Amino acid sequence: MELTVLGLSFSFLLIIGVPVAFAIGLSSVATIIAAGLPVAVVFQKMIGGMEVFSFLAIPFFVLAGELMLYGGIADRIVKFANSLVGHVRGGLGMSNVLGCTIFGGVAGSPLADVSAMGSVMIPLMKKEGYDADYAVNVTTHAALVGAIMPTSHNMIIFTLAASGIASVSMFGLILAGMVPALILTLCNLAAAYWVAVKRGYPIHGAFPGWGEVLKAFGGAVPGLFVVVIILVGILSGAFTATESASIAVAWALFVTVFIYRSLTWHNFIKACAKACKTTGVVLLLIGISNAFGYFMALYEVPEKTGELMQLVSSTPWVIFLMINVLLFVLGTFLDMAATILICTPIFMPIAMHFGMDPLQFGILMLINCALGLNTPPVGTVQFVGCAIGEISVGQVMRTIAPFYGALGMSLLLVTYVPIFSLWLPNMLK
């Protein structure tokens, strides 16, 4: 009875347009009333879910990304990427892919990535004769790689969502995402090039020479160095993942204020305000999802879901395919953080039962959630890209197949070839 109330009330609230955080909270309250338990249980679980020291990393990583967004780092990354591949057919699109991937590595947020890089690259590509739908698709899909890069706050959310099921270290998850991030980037480059050749886009200029490439790289290095600081610092034991987030903020401030001298006081205030808003939304989701997760555990939702899936098949590759499909569908309706918090306790035990490593499942989860960010009806990354490109979502969706295919291929490789996500973590144990 209580499980029915939980599922139906949550689904109904989402259908009528109630924001996800409030839908989760209200369905939890409805369930607690139906069970005859004190309503205070919901608030206890909410507070307990947010009182975790590791969560301090979230506001710091978010603030570091916003400072880089408003501090002019994107322009230097674009210049470096364009010097590498700008001379190839459709080179501006490939420059966009590289630029978004590199900026995603320092910002750690697909939304920040598409906002920063899209504002620079989409109008430039349109000006150079590229179709708006191509410019938007290239940008939004390349931005998704930021979800599995070292500064991603969604990785922190996953490690905490998985903490009651298996031990998943933040550093192990960072390493697990390295090779898949490279695969995603290569697939995005292939899709961008294939569409550019098919549409006959022009070649813009000749290769500027390795001297110019090194010069452009030198200009981008200070902004990119934040990734090196985080990885070397954690690997050497100099600081924890939580401490690395605060160091990322300090470095972002140092670079944008004293090296690039591009962060104005006005933009600093905007970055802080945006970081506060994002952090508030994420922590609210975490707290409420903790209460929601309590009821899912209490009423054995993971176990029952696993039993239902095994009625369809007991073959691991079929189970993994079903998990991918369900995560993708749910990701199109829910925010990334909400999907991670709600679905990890349900699907991770099932995946582990059929032999999937927790780190591999983490990358699978993050890629699926990232794809949801670029798919209506929620699709926040796609909506931002379309707004910048001044084109409708419908027009973009009509030509999205090659880019979906590229990311889908990457997801299947991560799902069925464990070495791609486990090689680095196992090597550096």
pLDDT digits (tens, 9 = 90+) for 213-226: 888 888 888 887 87
By percentage, how much of the chain surpasses pLDDT 70?
96
pLDDT tens profile 150-161:
778 888 889 888
Query: Left if phi > 0, otherwise alpha if psi is -120 to 50, otherwise beta: which for 300?
Result: left
Mean pLDDT of the chain: 83
Which span out of 102-106, 271-275, 378-382, 414-418 was modeled with the highest average pLDDT?
414-418
Are 155 and 401 in contact by the 8 Å Cβ rule? The answer is no
| Mean pLDDT within 333-352 | 85
Residues in the chain: 429
Q: Rounded to the nearest 5°, which phi and psi values hold at 214?
A: -65, -40
| pLDDT attached to residue 414 | 92
- Side-chain half-sphere CA neighbours of 266 within 13 A: 0
pLDDT tens profile 100-109:
888 877 777 7
| Mean pLDDT within 188-205 | 85
69: pLDDT strictly greater than 80:
no
| Mean pLDDT within 181-200 | 91
pLDDT tens profile 78-117:
788 878 777 777 787 888 888 888 887 777 778 778 877 7
321: pLDDT strictly greater than 90:
yes
| pLDDT attached to residue 348 | 92
Report the alpha-carbon distance of residue 47 to residue 105 in Å, rounded.
Answer: 31
Q: How confident is the model at residue 249 (pLDDT cuts 50, 70, 90)?
A: confident
Instruction: Classify each residue of 97-115 as buried b or exposed e, where b means 16 or more C-beta atoms within 10 Å of its C-beta.
Output: bbbbbbbbbbbbbbbbbbb
146: pLDDT strictly greater than 80:
yes
- Helices assigned H by DSSP within 51-199: 57-70, 73-85, 91-107, 110-127, 132-143, 153-161, 170-199
